[in-house]
Amino acid sequence: MSEHNDPARATRRSGEELREAILDAVLCELFDRGYAGLTFDGVAHRAHTSKPVIYRRYATRAQMVLDALIRHAPADLPSDSAGDLRSDLMALGLALGRRFEQIGITTVRRLIADVDDDLLPQLAELAAAPAEQALQRVLDAARARGELGPEPLPERIAMLPLALWHHEMLFIGHVDEAAVADIVDRICLPLLTRRV
């Protein structure tokens, strides 16, 4: 048996190498078996480690899944402006929809149900922080082009596109191009560009 196939050698990994193996295993189990079918046993087997090793790092399935999704979340949110506010909002909404589809509605709903107060910051990091930063870049670019007034937007108005897209994802189950366009054209653009 080569040392690469030696289970004893696999269990001696530590630090970042072991963490990466565990997180890769979590994602594989998640996409193969779904959130409900993901177990500590399955992750340990796939990562070639033991359950106690994983329990030392993660107390719950939700904590394990959140860490894996944050670590491997696709960096596909737009970073450059397309040249106008509408195009930028459309690009962001569609990118968020693709990210949501990759994770899956069932996983998202079960994860929300399992998250306790201690995990809320991690859930926010996965679901809100990158999207809020991307939206702020969109609004800053629009302000620099003169599409928005000089005064900062109230936070609830500025973040409204995200609230509406998240609602669509969680309660409808997806957000397609027609839904993104409807939200952008009928609600967000009139409100964001309204001059007081």
- 53: domain CATH number is 1.10.357.10
| The pLDDT value given to residue 30 | 93
Q: Is the pLDDT of residue 192 over 80?
A: yes
pLDDT grade for 122, boundaries at 50, 70 and 90: confident
Domain encompassing residue 99 = 75-192
CB atoms within 10 A of CB 161: 25
| The pLDDT value given to residue 75 | 58
Whether 103 and 32 map to the same domain: the answer is no
Residue carrying structure tokens 């959140």: 66
Whether 100 and 188 map to the same domain: the answer is yes
**CATH of residue 168:** 1.10.357
Whether 102 and 139 map to the same domain: the answer is yes
- pTM of the predicted model, to two decimals? 0.79
| The pLDDT value given to residue 11 | 47
Q: Is the pLDDT of residue 6 over 90?
A: no
Burial of 116-134, coded b for 16+ CB within 10 Å and e otherwise, reads: eeebeebbeebbeebbeeb
Do 173 and 105 contact (CB within 8 A), yes or no?
A: yes
| The pLDDT value given to residue 73 | 64
Whether 67 and 80 map to the same domain: the answer is no
Whether 83 and 166 map to the same domain: the answer is yes
CB atoms within 10 A of CB 66: 23
Amino acid at 141: A
Q: Is the pLDDT of residue 8 over 50?
A: no
Average pLDDT taken over every residue of the chain: 86
Q: Is the pLDDT of residue 74 over 70?
A: no
Whether 59 and 80 map to the same domain: the answer is no
Distance CA 178, CA 155 (A): 26
Q: Is the pLDDT of residue 5 over 60?
A: no
Nearest alpha carbon to residue 126 among 138, 137, 115? 115
Q: Is the pLDDT of residue 159 over 90?
A: yes
CB contact set of 141 (below 8 Å; sequence gap of 6+): 81, 88
What does the pLDDT average to over 126-153? 88
Whether 67 and 95 map to the same domain: the answer is no
What does the pLDDT average to over 128-133? 85
What does the pLDDT average to over 23-37? 93
